[in-house]
Structure 1
Amino acid sequence: MKRFALAPKPAMGRFGLIPDPETYLYWLLLLFPASSSLSLSLPHQFLLLLQTLASLSSIFPLCVDPSDIGVGVSDRNLKMSRGRGVPMMDLKRSYDVEDRVVSVSIPSIIEADEADLWPLPEIDTKKSKFPCCIVWTPLPVVSWLAPFIGHIGLCREDGVILDFAGSNFINVDDFAFGPPARYLQLDRTKCCLPPNMGGHTCKYGFKHTDFGTARTWDNALSSSTRSFEHKTYNIFTCNCHSFVANCLNRLCYGGSMEWNMVNVAILLMIKGKWINGSSVVRSFLPCAVVTSLGVVLVGWPFLIGLSSFSLLLFAWFIIATYCFKNIIT
C-alpha cells in the first residue's frame, strides 16, 4: 500500500477532461499493485495491464501523441503549438466562428444602422410637436404683402421646434410669430449620418466631412444651433431659411449639400401640408384684405405696386442665392 502514496498526483490534461499521459501512469500504478495482491502470475498481470489500457482508452480518447510520454512540459507545449493533438471539435468550432464573421456583409451593417432609427412619436398639432418636420407660419405685415414669404423652423426627433428668430438667438420650443400653419415631415433614411470617414452614403465624402457631419438627426440640429448662435439675423441674407438649409446640408438630406433659402422654401411650398382650414385662412386672409382695401382706396396702381414688391423680393432671393453666394449664408 505504500506504493499508492508514491504514485504521482493525478491532474487534468491541457485539454479539459482529456487526461495527460501522467494520469494514465497513475491509474496503472494503482491497478498493478492490486493485481499483485491477488497473487496472479506474471502473464495474467500483463494481460490485466493490457485490458486496463484498452478500457481507459475507450473512456478517455488519447489526444496526445504517445511519443510525448516522458517528454518535458516545455517540449510538449512546443509540439502542441505546432498543431499536434488539437481536437477536431475545437477546429470545427473555430471555422464556424470565422464563417460567421466573414458572412457579415456591408449591407447587413447598413441595415443594422438604419434599425437604430427609433420610431418617431406622432405629430401633435395641438401641442405643436412635429417630429423631424419643417414648419412654416406667416410673418406679420410681410406676409400680408407677399403671402409666399413666412417664418420657418426645423424640429427635433421629439417634435420640439428650433428656429432662428434673431441675432445670436435660436428659439427652442417657442415658435416665433405664432403656431405653425404648414409642415413637411422629412425622411431620416434619406440623411447621410456617417459614423466615420468611410461610412458616407452620399457622394460628397470629404466635402461633407469638411462642412460638418452628424451621427444623428438631433446632433445635426445641435451643431447648426451652436453655429447660428454667433450669426447676425438679416431677413435678406441670413434668416430662418438659412438655418434650416444649414441643418439639411449637415444631414446631406436627399444626397444633396446644395440646400439654400430658395429650394427650402420651394420644397415646403410644393410638398408641405396645411394643418387645418383655419391655417389657410390665417395665412391668406390678411393679404386678401390688404389687397382689397388697396384697390378700393388707391385703385389699380396699388395692385401693380404690390405685385412689383413681391416680384422684387423673389428676384432678390434668386439672384443673391445663385449669383452672389458669398452674400447669402
Structure 2
Amino acid sequence: MTPITEVEGRRVALSNLEKVLYPATGFTKGELLHYYASAADALLPHLRDRPASFLRYPDGPDGQRFFTKNVPPGTPEWVTTAEVPRSEGPARMVLVQDLASLMWAANLVTEFHTHQWVIAAPGEADRLVFDLDPGEPATIVQCCEVALWLRDRLAADGIEAYVKTSGAKGLHLLAAVRAASSQRASDYAKGLAVEAERALPRLVVHRMTRSLRPGKVFVDWSQNAARKTTATPYTLRARAEPTVSAPVTWAEVEECGAPEHLVIQASDMAARLRDLGDLMAPLLDTERAAALP
C-alpha cells in the first residue's frame, strides 16, 4: 500500500520508501525524500517559475535513466504547469512552485534541470552559466583553476559569479544577468570560453570535440541556449553515490587540492545549509543582476 502524506494541504503519495537507490552507500528512497524536504527552503527559489526537466532514475543510477520534459502522466491537477515554446511546437512543462510539488516530483526519483530563463520571459536570459567538465586525467582540481580565471574575467565586466559542484566530475559557474536574449548570453559565454582557451591553452578547450578533451577542462558555454537546461542548485545526481550539485564558497575552490575535497553528498547538506545558508541566494536578487557588456 502506498502511503499518502499531507504536504501543505496537498495529498502526496510516497512509494517504496525502503528501496535502496544508491547501493554503494545504502541510501534509500526515503532518505532521498527526506533530503529534498530538508533542502526545500534553499532549493525551491531556484526552481520556482522555471520550467523543469526531470532526469528520472527510479531504479537508481545503475538502472534506466530517462529525461521527462513534458508533463508526466498522472501529474496531480494541483501541480502548476505552463506552455513552453519549442522549435517543434509548444509543449506543457511542470513548474515546481511549492513543497508539495517538490515532494511529488522527488517521489518520481529525479534530478531537477532548469532553463536560464523564467516562464514569464522564455528565451530572455536571467542567468549566465558555464559548465566546466574535466577530461581524464584532469579532475575537478583543474576545473577550480579555470573557475578562478573565469570568476576574475567576469568580474572585469562587472559580473559576479557563483560556483557549485556539478554533482558529477566538474563545476558550474552561474551569474545573474538582465536584459539579454539567450542568444546574446550564448555569444558572450562562447567569447569567454574562447578567451579562456587562449589564456590557458594547456588547461582549457572550448569545443566539445572528444579528441581535444583528455587532460583538459571543457568550458561548455552551450547551456545558455534557450532550449538547454542545467542541473538546478541542490539537486541530487544519478551517480554512484548520492552527490548533490552543491553551491560552494570561492575559498573552497581556491583550496581544492584533491577531487574528494569537493564531493558533497546529501548527508553533508544540512550542516552546510545551517552554516553557510544558500550561497546562491544573490542570484535571486534582481538588483544585483548585471548587464552583459
Which bin holds the TM-score, normalised by the shorter protein? under 0.3
Q: Give the TM-score normalised by the residue count of structure 1.
A: 0.21
The higher relative CO (CA closer than 8 Å, separation ≥ 6) is in 2
- Which protein is richer in strand relative to its size? 2
- Which protein is richer in helix relative to its size? 1
Kindly name which structure, 1 or 2, has the bigger radius of gyration based on alpha carbons: 1
Q: Give the TM-score normalised by the residue count of structure 2.
A: 0.23
